[in-house]
């Protein structure tokens, strides 16, 4: 029978130490509630007393009743100059009133001398003293053996001695930390075997945990190996600012057969991953295993054909197990299977033997040779398909546009103005608009001209605008690809344009975006 594991999340402390990763107190509470819904066992809230915000989190989270997770306060062993009962750090840990306290101590003799500047025996004393002082005040007491693997490799006897003193002080779990992240998976078995043998000599019931950092891209592997060797607690962060729990947890549950509370809720994993990034205002890594948007994306025609028959041919798990979805991409590698799959998704009745499939593939490959890309612009591809079938309505026609970007004062930014002429249902429209730059001015003029005919465009907005220079060795004569992401209150969609002229490429993407919105609205009307 496999051991029952516990998952200890350090996103709110370890994760926020990553560059550009910042959360307010309110955001930390929101993340805590989300992690609780996922079924995380322990949520490390931070280091109380380190800052007013850190202390405020522990005060605020007490106003919420978590369904499963226990909140942990994190701190260090006492300063050597202080008695335990007079140490501000230990007092702050108790004042946090959490059911769990985790403290770290030095396992590496180099750190004892260089960082703490005390004798080796003095470090052993403060480890035991600190834990013994905290033990009566808390339900669960964990000890993080900082830099343990480096310490073990440098001075094995001393590293093991620090664990002995942590056990004597009352720690119930010894968490072995690869703080510098330089340990390789091949090193873990021998070290874990010696530690297991050592701590079991005295008949102690202490458990082992693993806290791996990712400086060598080995944190996930080290965590999985450690569990296979006896670790019962895994520490890490959502999205991998050290050990990546969004990769560790599904591997433990779905591939290694271990049981833990969050294993029952893995369908919430992708949603939780995106939620944390959204609150931290960070882009989601589309290539992230398990939870990334591209984790179960298929591009080549042979792959798509096989996946449609049996997803196991090119997927290591069912994406729905972790709350993700299978995606079929459209590109120059696409075959008939890709086109037919997309047609079905778009509600287009298309037979595999229909000559229009060949025509769509030919047009697709021709456009991608010019630089078009439809992987992030499915709305443009749907319009391409419908135009090939002669089923796409033309909502307006361009008669001409002009954009002026004028700078009349060196101390002021340029002023952009766009003038546009359109035909809408036989009626001529001529209008102008200002904007923050020429593309924004063109977008504003287009919407101004069309909104009087199509009022729903007022409910649509441009969410993202990206420009990629193609064949950059041609300098300013290179083609550019413009990708536009648009939204309304119901959905979002992507469109693309390519040209030597950035305004023309932007125009193509903007027209597709508006056309898609109008087509979408038209479908909702009662027939």
Q: What pLDDT shows up at residue 186?
A: 97
For 300-330, the pLDDT digits (tens) are 555 555 666 666 666 678 888 898 876 665 5
Rounded CA gap, 182 and 410, in Å? 52
- Work out the number of other CB atoms within 10 angstroms of the CB of residue 426: 5
Write out the DSSP string of 71-130: EEEEEEPPPTTS-GGG-HHHHHHHHTT-SEEEEEEE--HHHIIIII-S-HHHHHHHHHHH
Q: Which of 439, 454, 469 is the last residue of a domain?
A: 439
Q: What pLDDT shows up at residue 385?
A: 83
Number of domains present in the structure of the chain:
3
Q: Are residues 102 and 247 in the same domain?
A: yes
Distances (CA, A) of 39 to 148, 260, 311, 323: 28, 9, 28, 15
Q: Are residues 238 and 107 in the same domain?
A: yes
Rounded CA gap, 372 and 132, in Å? 66
Q: Are residues 263 and 324 in the same domain?
A: no
Q: Are residues 172 and 249 in the same domain?
A: yes
Residues of the chain with pLDDT under 70: 1, 15-20, 202, 296-315, 326-338, 375-376, 471-477, 526-527
Q: Are residues 234 and 313 in the same domain?
A: no
* 76 touches 44 (CB < 8 A): no
Q: What pLDDT shows up at residue 432?
A: 95
Q: What pLDDT shows up at residue 16?
A: 61
Tokens of 330: 């459209």
Contacts of 106 (CB under 8 A, 6+ apart): 77, 112, 115, 116, 123, 146, 147, 151, 162
Q: Which of 279, 309, 343 is the last residue of a domain?
A: 279
Q: Are residues 253 and 365 in the same domain?
A: no
Domain range for residue 220? 6-279
Sign of the alpha-carbon dihedral angle for 490, 494, 495, 499 = positive
Rounded CA gap, 332 and 346, in Å? 20
Q: What pLDDT shows up at residue 444?
A: 92
What is the CATH number for 258?
Answer: 3.20.20.70
**Does 377 reside within a domain?**
no
Q: What pLDDT shows up at residue 332?
A: 47
**Does 333 reside within a domain?**
yes
**Does 521 reside within a domain?**
no
**Backbone angles phi and psi of 128, in degrees to 5:** -65, -45
Supply the pTM of this predicted model. 0.69
Q: Which of 370, 388, 407 is the last residue of a domain?
A: 370
Q: Are residues 74 and 165 in the same domain?
A: yes
Q: What pLDDT shows up at residue 20?
A: 61
**Does 507 reside within a domain?**
no
**Does 336 reside within a domain?**
yes
């Amino acid at each position: 029978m496999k051991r029952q594991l516990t998952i200890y999340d350090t996103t709110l402390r370890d994760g926020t130490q990553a560059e550009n990763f910042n959360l307010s107190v309110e955001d930390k509470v929101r993340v805590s509630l989300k992690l609780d819904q996922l079924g995380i066992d322990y949520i490390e809230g931070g280091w109380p007393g380190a800052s007013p915000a850190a202390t405020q989190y522990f005060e605020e989270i007490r106003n919420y009743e978590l369904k499963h997770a226990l909140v942990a306060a994190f701190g260090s062993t006492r300063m050597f100059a202080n008695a335990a009962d007079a140490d501000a750090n230990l007092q702050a840990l108790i004042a946090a009133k959490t059911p769990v306290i985790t403290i770290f101590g030095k396992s590496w003799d180099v750190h004892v001398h260089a960082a703490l500047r005390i004798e080796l025996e003095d470090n052993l004393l403060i480890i035991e003293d600190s834990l013994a002082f905290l033990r009566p005040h808390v339900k669960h007491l964990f000890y993080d053996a900082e830099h343990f693997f480096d310490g073990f490799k440098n001075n094995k006897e001393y590293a093991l001695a620090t664990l002995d003193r942590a056990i004597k002080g009352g720690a119930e779990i010894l968490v072995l930390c690869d703080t510098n992240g330089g340990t390789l998976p091949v090193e873990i078995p021998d070290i874990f075997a010696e530690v297991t043998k050592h701590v079991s000599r005295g008949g102690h019931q202490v458990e082992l945990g693993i806290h791996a950092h990712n400086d060598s891209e080995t944190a996930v592997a080290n965590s999985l190996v450690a569990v296979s060797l006896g670790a019962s607690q895994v520490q890490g962060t959502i999205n991998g600012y050290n050990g990546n729990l969004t990769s560790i947890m599904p591997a433990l549950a779905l591939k290694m057969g271990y049981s833990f509370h969050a294993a029952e809720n893995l369908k919430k994993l992708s949603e939780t991953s995106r939620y944390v990034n959204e609150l931290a205002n960070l882009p989601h890594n589309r290539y992230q295993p398990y939870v990334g948007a591209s984790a179960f994306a298929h591009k080549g025609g042979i792959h798509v054909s096989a996946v449609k028959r049996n997803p196991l041919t090119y997927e290591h798990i069912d994406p729905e197990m972790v709350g993700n979805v299978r995606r079929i991409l459209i590109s120059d590698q696409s075959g008939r299977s890709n086109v037919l799959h997309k047609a079905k998704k778009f509600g287009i009745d298309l037979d595999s033997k229909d000559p229009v499939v060949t025509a769509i593939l030919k047009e697709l490959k021709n456009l991608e040779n010019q630089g078009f890309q439809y992987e992030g612009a499915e709305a443009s591809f749907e319009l391409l398909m419908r135009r090939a079938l002669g089923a796409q309505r033309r909502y307006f026609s361009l008669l001409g546009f002009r954009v002026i970007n004028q700078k009349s004062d060196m101390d002021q930014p340029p002023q952009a103005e766009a003038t546009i002429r359109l035909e809408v249902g036989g009626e001529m429209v001529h209008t102008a608009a200002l904007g923050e730059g020429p593309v924004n001015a063109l977008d504003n003029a287009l919407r101004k001209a069309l909104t009087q005919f199509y009022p729903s465009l007022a409910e649509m907005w441009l969410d993202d605008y990206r420009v990629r220079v193609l064949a950059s060795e041609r300098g300013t004569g290179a083609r550019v690809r413009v990708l536009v992401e648009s939204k309304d209150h119901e959905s979002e969609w992507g469109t693309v344009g390519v040209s030597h002229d950035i305004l023309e490429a932007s125009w193509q993407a903007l027209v597709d975006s508006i056309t898609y919105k109008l087509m979408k609205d038209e479908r909702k009307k009662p027939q």
